[in-house]
Structure 1
Amino acid sequence: MATFRLALIQLYVSSIKSDNVSQACSLVREAAKQGAKVVSLPECFNSPYGTNYFPEYAEKIPGESTQKLAEAAKENSIYLIGGSIPEEDAGKLFNTCVVFGPDGSLLVKHRKIHLFDIDVPWKITFQESKTLSPGDGLSTFDTPYCRVVLGICFAELAQIYAQRGCQLLVYPGAFNLTTGPAHWELLQRARAVDNQGYVATASPARDDKASYVAWGHSTVVDPWGQVLTKAGTEKMILYSDIDLKRLAEVR
């Protein structure tokens, strides 16, 4: 299949985990009804984003949140990229993304490798490394459409992934009001051009009352570095048709 529909779900994250998971699954169903074959949730979709929240909301994998994702993938016969959730394993916490296939099977468990530590005076200070441990593995999965790579935020891994034949790079990410306007679109377009692949980013919707305010603006960029579609800051499902003929032309 030369073209398939990708959906990025930009949702509001509340303090109630069960509501977040229920909302995510409802939007997954809506995306599938609109023809999406690959669907991605945003980073930390079931929990407020913050070092003080990670221990409270962390769960095992498989666990309540990932079980619901597995059921949603199977129910809708889609590839579901589960954004990320705080994971607890052997006394350590990770920022982890799981991917389920159309039969509900677990295809990938990706732990965020490059943790987000930042200190911009008078603007934002945030250190994931205070509570989270880094992952240490690359993560890809194959679909009938193309090979997909996973990352949480951006890193040097994109070039390695491209050399391994990946055509779609999906980044669940939660940039903020400092890094978002400066780097969000810039990094996506750069990685798309560097590696001649599609780049998709799934962000939480913006909640100005949250302790950590997400930038929003989930985006899809083509291999030429052109922005195909971009969300605003509100809750929505962003769709884009991924044209592999276009990718071949650019390469």
Structure 2
Amino acid sequence: MKTDENFLLGLCQMATRVAKEENLRQAQQMVQQAAQEGCRLVVLPEMFSCPYQAALFPKYAEPAEGETVSRMSAWARESGVVLVGGSIPECDEAGRVYNTSFVFDEQGVLLGRHRKMHLFDVDIAGGTCFRESDTLTAGNELTLCETSVGVLGVGICYDMRFGAMAGEMVRRGADLLIYPAAFGWTTGPAHWELTLRARAVDHQVFVVGAAPAKLAGSVYEAYGHSLVADPWGRILFQADETEQLVKVEIDRAVQAKVRAELPLLQHLRGDYRILPQQ
């Protein structure tokens, strides 16, 4: 497929439960369903293999050569899709744990690995209190993956709040920004749609937010609302909080039209500096 052709995108908005094997089976079924319904790019949510609780990440963590990564590769190969594997807790040889997204092509070949750069450490009065840094280590590299459907710039959840990161990925060639993310019910209603649409308008790219579904009674209840915004900032689809497969057609002509009519990218630069006051 040429990267200027339209394609169908699938977002697997699945609820994440305590049993890892149950989560993996659900993810596999949704990837297969998306492929059967014509999707060429499929995205799983953040921490799809385990509950979103900082204390649990080390217990669920696996190395990059572990079973979950191997199974994701097989899902991509067997279904013939480009797969952005949401994220899982990944451990390295030194015992560090990362919030990591693995990206595979249609043959199951690993194209890239993104370790979440901006850890979710917040304490919102009357709302969310969470510290990923209690158990996670931050990544320090941008992740761009050349695929049959375009150049994917991958971030994870809190990364989406940093416009400079998105701008640098686009400056380096990304034409789709993919964010597996698990916003909660404090920041979700306030900032989820706003932030994704802002990244789309700022950088004239399709922006994808792939969220887990809400699971009532969880320690951390996900907001859901998986969303795709086009380069004009229009919402192509936004789910509710329930489990579902979201399918959206990505129309490359829209991106070309927006960029031609409002040529922002020619001014995109990575060397801005603050001038001293006169």
| Partner residue in 2 for 1:228 | 236
* 1:111 and 2:143 aligned: no
Larger radius of gyration: 2
Match in the other structure for 2:9: 6
Is the aligned partner of 1:120 residue 2:124? Answer: yes
Indicate if the aligned counterparts of 2:41 and 2:149 stay in contact, CA closer than 8 A.
no
User: Which of 195, 217, 223 pairs up with 1:215?
Assistant: 223
Residue in 1 that maps onto 2:47? 44
How far did 1:208 drift? 2.2
Letter in 2 for 1:193: V
Count of residue pairs the alignment pairs up: 251
Superposition pairs for residues 28-177 of structure 1, below 5 Å?
28-89=31-92, 90-153=94-157, 154=160, 155=162, 156-177=164-185
Q: Alignment partner of 2:194: what SS?
A: helix
1:130-178, Cα deviation, whole Å (9 max, x unpaired): 1100001111111223111100021231000111221110000000000
Higher mean alpha-carbon deviation, 126-135 vs 148-157, is at 148-157
Q: Which structure is higher in strand share?
A: 1
Cα distance, 1:106 vs structure 2: 0.7
Spell out, residue by residue over 1:187-226, the C-alpha distance to the aligned partner (whole angstroms, 9 max, x if none). 0010000000000010000012100111100000000000
> 1:186 matched to which residue of 2?
194
Deviation at 1:124, TM superposition (A): 1.6
Q: Which runs of 4+ in 1 moved over 2 A?
A: none
Percent of aligned pairs with the same residue? 44
Deviation at 1:122, TM superposition (A): 2.0
- Give the C-alpha shift of residue 66 in structure 1: 1.0
Following the alignment from structure 1 to structure 2, what is the Cα–Cα distance between the partners of residues 185 and 207?
Answer: 20
Give the SS at the match of 1:53: helix
Give ranges in structure 2 of 5+ residues lacking alignment: 260-278
- Looking at structure 1, the residues matched to 142 and 22 of structure 2 have their Cα atoms a distance apart, in angstroms, of 31
Q: Partners in 1 of 2:95 and 2:256 — Cα distance? A: 45
Moved more, 153-162 or 36-45: 153-162
Distance 1:32 1:62 in 2: 25
Instruction: Give the whole-Å Cα distance in 2 for the aligned partners of 1:109 and 1:124.
Output: 28
User: For structure 1, which segment, 193-202 or 136-145, has the greater mean C-alpha deviation from structure 2 after superposition?
Assistant: 136-145
Q: Secondary structure at the match of 1:248?
A: helix
SS state at 1:245 partner: helix
Farther off after superposition, 183-192 or 100-109:
100-109
User: Residue 98 of structure 2: SS of its match in structure 1?
Assistant: strand
Q: Write out per-residue CA displacement over residues 57-110 of structure 1, whole angstroms, 9 at most, x where no aligned residue.
A: 111112111111100000011100000001111210100000111111111111
Question: Separation in 2 of the partners of 1:81 and 1:64?
Answer: 16
State the secondary structure of the residue aligned to 1:65: helix
Task: Write the distance in 2 (CA, Å) between the matches of 1:145 and 1:11.
Answer: 24
Q: RMSD of aligned C-alpha atoms?
A: 0.8
Q: Name the SS of the counterpart of 1:97 in structure 2.
A: strand
Q: How far apart, CA to CA, are the structure 2 residues paired with 1:84 and 1:54?
A: 11
Deviates more, 1:215-224 or 1:152-161: 152-161
TM-score when normalising by structure 2: 0.89
